Amino acid sequence: MTKSKEDWVKSPWTISIGTAIFSFLLTIGYDYLKEKPILSTIWSIFKWIGNMVWKVLNFDLKIWWLIIVFGLFILIIVIIDKFKNEETLKPDFCSYKEDTLKKWRWTWSWKLDNRKNAWIITDMKAHCPKCATPMIEYSNRYQLSFDCPRCEFRANDAECDEPHKIERIILDNIDRKRS
């Protein structure tokens, strides 16, 4: 067999459709051999579905059941809303989003990391010392550099403030304000 025919034969779609067709043919064969009407299995499934729909539509429904279900629904919505409001309550340090650290002005934002259950610094950006535009950071194993897209200011290696050190300084500033 060629590669494409082999893939087609082993495809999950081919296997599932083939199984359904094979089951259908077995039902027809069984009905034919037992002298029952053709498609009796399928007909009995339709009858069962119809009976279930009829039972659900004719179910005796008490008003107090509806009141309890409605009350539980409102209670669940209130609880979910309360948890959402607690998430939006941010600690005081979340307003600390900008500072001049070492050589440059830095901005950042805070995000709650649910895995660590802690606030982390995100979107940390260095701003150009000449024009205050957010700079583009280029970093790899060998070099760190920052470029300003507006005024072409460029800082390489020793001229740069390292972001991981700046992040540590930010966290230390918060710790110092608390004590």
**Per-residue model confidence as pLDDT tens digits over 88-114:** 677 788 888 898 888 889 899 988 887
The dihedral sign for the CA sequence 156, 159, 165, 166? negative
What mean pLDDT is predicted for residues 127-151?
Answer: 86
State the Cα–Cα distance between residues 106 and 89, nearest whole angstrom.
Answer: 24
Q: Is 123 within 8 Å of 129 (Cβ atoms)?
A: no
Q: Which of 6-15, 30-39, 123-132, 137-146 has the lowest mean pLDDT?
A: 30-39
Average model confidence (pLDDT) across the chain:
83
pLDDT value for 36: 57
**Per-residue model confidence as pLDDT tens digits over 145-158:** 888 889 988 888 77
Q: Is the pLDDT of residue 137 over 90?
A: no
- Break the chain down into helix, strand, coil percent, rounded to 5: 55, 20, 25
pLDDT value for 86: 55
Q: What percent of the chain has pLDDT over 70?
A: 90
